[in-house]
Structure 1
Amino acid sequence: MERVLKKDNGLNFESLKKTITRLGTEFSKGILVPVFTLPIVGMLLAVGVLLTNPSIPISKIEWINNFGVLTKDSLLSIFINLSPVFAVGIASGMAKRKKGDAGLSGIILFFIFLYAMNSFMKINNLLVTGDLRGSGQSLVLGVQVLDMGVFLGIILGLVTSSLHNKFVEKEFDGAMRLYGSSNLALLIGIPVVIMLSIFFTYTWPIIQLFIAKMTNTIVSTGVFGVGIYGFLERVLIPTGLHHLLWVPVELSSISGTGVVDGQYLEGVRNIAMAELSSSSVDRLGPGAVYLTKAMSKMFGLVGAALAMYKCSNSDLKEKTKGILIPAVGAAVLAGVTEPLEFSFLFTAPLLFVVHAILAGLGMAVAALLDLRVIAVSGGIEFLAMMLPAGSKGDTFKFILLGLGQIGLYFGIFTLLIKKFNLKTPGREGEDVKLYTKQDYKEKQSETTIKTNSDKAKNIVLGLGGSENIKSVTNCYSRLRVQVANLNSIDESILNTTGCSGIVKNSEGVQIIYGLSVQKIKKEVCKELNIKDEE
Structure 2
Amino acid sequence: MKDKIFGVLQRVGRSFMLPIALLPVAGLLLGIGGSFTNATMLETYHLTSVLGPGTVGNAILTVMSDAGNIVFANLPIIFAIGVAIGMAKKEKEVAALAGAIAFLIMHASIGAMITIHGGPEALLEGATTSVCGITSLQMGVFGGMIVGLGVAALHNRFYKIQLPQVLSFFGGTRFVPIISGLTYTVVGIAMFFVWPFVQQGIAAVGGIVMESGYAGTWIYGIMERLLIPFGLHHVFYLPFWQTSLGGTLEVNGQLIEGAQNIFFAQLGAQDTISHFAVSATRFMSGKFPFMILGLPGAALAMYRTALPEKKKEVGGLLLSAALTSMLTGITEPIEFTFLFVAPALYGIHCIFAGASYMLMHILGVGVGMTFSGGIIDLILFGVLPGNKLTSWVWIPVVGVGYFVVYYFLFTFLIKKFDLKTPGRDADEEVKLYRRADYNAKKESMGDQTSEKICNGLGGKANISDVDCCATRLRVTVHKSELVNDAMLKSTGASGVVHKGNGVQVIYGPHVTVIKSNLEDYLETAPNVEYNGADETVADEAAAQTSAEPTGEVVKTVVLGSPISGVAADLAETPDEVFAQKMMGDGAVVTPNDGKVVAPADGTVVFVFDTKHAIGFKTDDDVAMLLHFGIDTVKLKGEGFNVHVTNGQKVKKGDLLMEADLDYISKNAPSIATPVLCTELKGNQKLRRLADGEIKAGEDLLAVDFYE
Tell me whether the two structures share a fold, i.e. TM-score over 0.5: yes
Alignment correspondent of 2:364: 370
Query: For residues 495 and 30 of structure 1, what CA distance do their matches in structure 2 show?
Result: 32
* Structure 2 residue 380 is matched with structure 1 residue 384: yes
Query: For residues 31 and 143 of structure 1, what CA distance do their matches in structure 2 show?
Result: 24
Q: Which amino acid aligns with 2:179?
A: I
Query: For residues 168 and 381 of structure 2, what CA distance do their matches in structure 1 show?
Result: 50
- Residue deviations 1:187-214 (CA, integer Å, cap 9, x gap): 1112211121122222222211211111
Q: Among the aligned pairs, what percent are the same residue? A: 30
* Structure 2 residue 154 is matched with structure 1 residue 121: no
The answer to whether the 8 Å contact 1:106/1:156 transfers is yes
- TM-score, normalised relative to structure 1: 0.76
Q: 2:5 aligns with which of 20, 30, 38?
A: 20
* Structure 2 residue 526 is matched with structure 1 residue 493: yes
- Residue deviations 1:120-140 (CA, integer Å, cap 9, x gap): 3333x163318x774422222
Q: 2:51 aligns with which of 34, 59, 66?
A: 59
Q: 1:68 aligns with which of 61, 64, 84?
A: 61
Q: 1:155: Cα distance to partner?
A: 0.8
- Residue deviations 1:425-458 (CA, integer Å, cap 9, x gap): 12233313439xxxxxxxxxxxxxxxxxxxxxxx
* Structure 2 residue 224 is matched with structure 1 residue 233: yes
Query: For residues 133 and 426 of structure 1, what CA distance do their matches in structure 2 show?
Result: 62
Higher relative contact order (CA 8 A, sep 6+): 1
Alpha-carbon distance change, 491 to 71 in structure 1, aligned in 2, over 3 angstroms: closer
More off after superposition, 190-199 vs 318-327: 318-327
The answer to whether the 8 Å contact 1:468/1:488 transfers is no
Q: 1:407 aligns with which of 404, 409, 429?
A: 404
- Larger strand proportion of the pair: 2
More off after superposition, 240-249 vs 313-322: 313-322
- Partner of 1:112, secondary structure, is helix
Query: For residues 337 and 251 of structure 1, what CA distance do their matches in structure 2 show?
Result: 23
The answer to whether the 8 Å contact 2:37/2:51 transfers is yes
Q: 1:285: Cα distance to partner?
A: 8.1
- What is the aligned-residue RMSD (CA, Å)? 2.9
- Partner of 2:250, secondary structure, is strand
Query: For residues 464 and 328 of structure 2, what CA distance do their matches in structure 1 show?
Result: 33
Query: For residues 145 and 280 of structure 2, what CA distance do their matches in structure 1 show?
Result: 23
- Residue deviations 1:440-488 (CA, integer Å, cap 9, x gap): xxxxxxxxxxxxxxxxxxxx9479876499xxxxxxxxxxxx9614995
Q: 1:100: Cα distance to partner?
A: 2.3
Query: For residues 259 and 209 of structure 1, what CA distance do their matches in structure 2 show?
Result: 18
Q: 2:272 aligns with which of 264, 275, 280?
A: 280
Q: 1:175: Cα distance to partner?
A: 6.9
Please list every run of 5 or more consecutive structure 2 residues that lacks an aligned counterpart in the other structure: 433-458, 469-514, 530-707
Q: 1:108: Cα distance to partner?
A: 0.9
* Structure 2 residue 23 is matched with structure 1 residue 38: yes
Alpha-carbon distance change, 332 to 272 in structure 1, aligned in 2, over 3 angstroms: same
Query: For residues 487 and 78 of structure 1, what CA distance do their matches in structure 2 show?
Result: 37
The answer to whether the 8 Å contact 2:105/2:188 transfers is no
Q: Which amino acid aligns with 1:90?
A: V
The answer to whether the 8 Å contact 1:316/1:430 transfers is no
Q: Which amino acid aligns with 2:18?
A: V
The answer to whether the 8 Å contact 1:464/1:488 transfers is no
The answer to whether the 8 Å contact 1:229/1:360 transfers is yes
Q: Which amino acid aligns with 2:406?
A: Y
Q: 1:99: Cα distance to partner?
A: 2.2
Alignment correspondent of 1:47: 32
Alignment correspondent of 2:553: none
Alignment correspondent of 1:110: 103
* Structure 2 residue 417 is matched with structure 1 residue 420: yes
Q: 1:360: Cα distance to partner?
A: 0.5
Query: For residues 384 and 466 of structure 1, what CA distance do their matches in structure 2 show?
Result: 50
In our comparison, the structure showing a higher alpha carbon Rg is 2
Q: 1:242 aligns with which of 225, 233, 254?
A: 233
Query: For residues 86 and 353 of structure 2, what CA distance do their matches in structure 1 show?
Result: 30
- Larger helix proportion of the pair: 1
Q: 1:226: Cα distance to partner?
A: 0.9
Kindly tell me the number of residue pairs found equivalent between the two proteins: 443
Alpha-carbon distance change, 187 to 266 in structure 1, aligned in 2, over 3 angstroms: same
Alignment correspondent of 1:313: 307
For residues 33-182 of structure 1, what are the structure 2 equivalents within 5 Å?
33-53=18-38, 54-55=42-43, 56=45, 57=47, 58-60=50-52, 62-63=54-55, 64-123=57-116, 125=117, 127-129=119-121, 134-170=125-161, 176=167, 178-182=169-173
Q: 1:281: Cα distance to partner?
A: 3.9
For residues 254-293 of structure 1, what are the structure 2 equivalents within 5 Å?
254-278=245-269, 279-281=271-273, 286-293=279-286
Q: 1:387: Cα distance to partner?
A: 3.6
Q: 1:37: Cα distance to partner?
A: 0.3
Alignment correspondent of 2:333: 339
- Partner of 1:292, secondary structure, is coil
Alpha-carbon distance change, 293 to 162 in structure 1, aligned in 2, over 3 angstroms: farther
Q: 1:306: Cα distance to partner?
A: 0.9
Alpha-carbon distance change, 465 to 138 in structure 1, aligned in 2, over 3 angstroms: farther
Q: 1:156: Cα distance to partner?
A: 0.2
Q: Which amino acid aligns with 1:300?
A: G
The answer to whether the 8 Å contact 1:312/1:426 transfers is yes
- TM-score, normalised relative to structure 2: 0.58
* Structure 2 residue 201 is matched with structure 1 residue 207: no
Query: For residues 89 and 2 of structure 2, what CA distance do their matches in structure 1 show?
Result: 22
The answer to whether the 8 Å contact 1:300/1:359 transfers is no
- Partner of 1:291, secondary structure, is coil
Q: Which amino acid aligns with 1:349?
A: P
Query: For residues 494 and 334 of structure 1, what CA distance do their matches in structure 2 show?
Result: 31
- Partner of 1:346, secondary structure, is helix
Alignment correspondent of 2:292: 298
- Residue deviations 1:250-276 (CA, integer Å, cap 9, x gap): 111111112222222111111112222
- Partner of 2:284, secondary structure, is helix
The answer to whether the 8 Å contact 2:299/2:318 transfers is yes
Query: For residues 22 and 223 of structure 1, what CA distance do their matches in structure 2 show?
Result: 33
Q: Which amino acid aligns with 1:484?
A: N
Query: For residues 395 and 272 of structure 1, what CA distance do their matches in structure 2 show?
Result: 14
- Partner of 2:341, secondary structure, is coil
